[in-house]
């Protein structure tokens, strides 16, 4: 079988998936259709927005399917009529067996971690939040339990000590596209030897659950290193946050986007010190410096710019 003969259906929604879809198309693979989330209403204008994957597909003349329910008989029937050889899933919903078991060459997923580490919806964020120094991308064949299928291949990368989720996302997006191409090439060649995840006895499975607003709140009683990892693991989106209160009890929510560790330990948890255009906060261990932040309803600012426009009497983070 050649790449032109191989019929592929691609499942994905966000920008992270587009990089791999574009790599397949640019390298001459026959992507017969994409399956993506239904359009949604968003923004102040209540406009109907299409996913990045749908936008790319339309621009390149690829058939688009947007089922509300993946077990819908009409969708399953239409999907079956495409007669695809292979399904590829990147950043999409969990597929029912009636879908992932359909193609003769199987269905594989690209996941943004070194499985079995960080199974779940937020592997990039959770790896940084946990203070990991290494992560990567993994391709694996789908099975019943989410992110547990047999591993096809993995590629490792280091996480920089001050790297945030946005930077790591972009690096893994590009790395994942290359791994997707390699994986499809091996599937065509028939030279795969998938590895069961439970055979990796020296690698303990961990979870990467979805992130909610409460997940993002900063607990200033935690050690400085944990807070630093929390901030960069959530930056630039959805962003770690805290409440800023002043002496007159005025309180506003502030997103903390970038921090730096210090060797000072002079402030109580949440206590703020402003010095020469710099902002330091006490934690459960050493003080931490806030480098970039975003007050509610305003744009993100470097701390020096924020302080020039702020009038703070007795500020404190809580």
Is residue 1 situated within a structural domain?
Answer: no
Q: Are residues 164 and 226 in the same domain?
A: no
Percent of all residues in the chain with a pLDDT value above 70, rounded to a whole number: 97
Q: What is the pLDDT of residues 18-64, one digit of tens each?
A: 999 999 999 999 999 999 999 988 766 678 899 999 999 999 999 99
Residue 91 gets which letter from DSSP? S
CB-count exposure of residue 64 (10 Å: 0-12, 13-18, 19+):
middle
Q: Are residues 171 and 265 in the same domain?
A: no
The pTM for the full model equals 0.94
Host domain of residue 108: 7-199
Q: Are residues 28 and 112 in the same domain?
A: yes
Q: What is the pLDDT of residues 242-288, one digit of tens each?
A: 999 877 667 889 999 999 999 999 999 999 999 998 999 999 999 99
| Single residue among 199, 232, 250 that ends a domain in this structure | 199
| Single residue among 199, 232, 248 that ends a domain in this structure | 199
Q: Where are the alpha helices (DSSP H) in 146-203?
A: 165-189
**Cα separation of 117 and 113, whole Å?**
7
| Residues with Cβ within 8 Å of residue 267, at least 6 apart in sequence | 273, 280, 281, 282, 287
Q: Are residues 180 and 240 in the same domain?
A: no
Percent of all residues in the chain with a pLDDT value above 90, rounded to a whole number: 85
């Amino acid at each position: 079988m050649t790449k032109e003969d191989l019929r592929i259906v691609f499942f994905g929604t966000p920008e992270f998936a587009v990089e791999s879809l574009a790599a397949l198309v640019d390298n001459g693979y026959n992507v017969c259709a994409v399956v993506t989330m239904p359009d949604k209403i968003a923004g102040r204008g209540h406009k109907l927005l299409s996913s990045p994957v749908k936008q790319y597909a339309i621009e390149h003349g690829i058939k688009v399917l947007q089922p509300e329910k993946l077990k819908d008989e009409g969708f399953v029937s239409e999907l079956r009529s495409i007669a695809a050889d292979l399904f590829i899933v990147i950043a999409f919903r969990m597929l029912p067996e009636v879908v992932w078991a359909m193609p003769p060459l199987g269905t594989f997923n690209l996941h943004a971690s070194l499985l079995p580490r960080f199974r779940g919806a937020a592997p990039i964020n959770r790896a940084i939040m946990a203070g990991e120094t290494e992560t990567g991308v993994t391709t694996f064949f789908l099975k019943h339990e989410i992110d547990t299928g047999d591993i096809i291949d993995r590629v490792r990368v280091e996480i920089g000590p001050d790297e945030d989720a946005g930077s790591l996302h972009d690096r893994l997006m590009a790395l994942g596209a290359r791994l997707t191409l390699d994986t499809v090439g091996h599937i065509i060649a028939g030279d795969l030897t998938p590895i069961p995840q439970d055979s990796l006895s020296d690698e303990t499975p961990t979870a990467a659950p979805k992130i909610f607003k409460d997940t993002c709140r900063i607990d200033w009683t935690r050690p400085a290193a944990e807070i630093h990892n929390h901030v960069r693991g959530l930056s630039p989106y959805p962003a770690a946050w805290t409440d800023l209160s002043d002496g007159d009890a005025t309180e506003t929510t502030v997103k903390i986007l970038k921090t730096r560790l210090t060797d000072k330990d002079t402030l109580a948890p949440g206590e703020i010190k402003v010095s020469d255009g710099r902002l330091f906060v006490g934690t459960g261990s050493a003080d931490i410096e806030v480098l970039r932040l975003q007050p509610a309803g305003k744009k993100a600012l470097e701390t020096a710019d924020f302080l020039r426009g702020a009038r703070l009497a007795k500020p404190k983070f809580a």
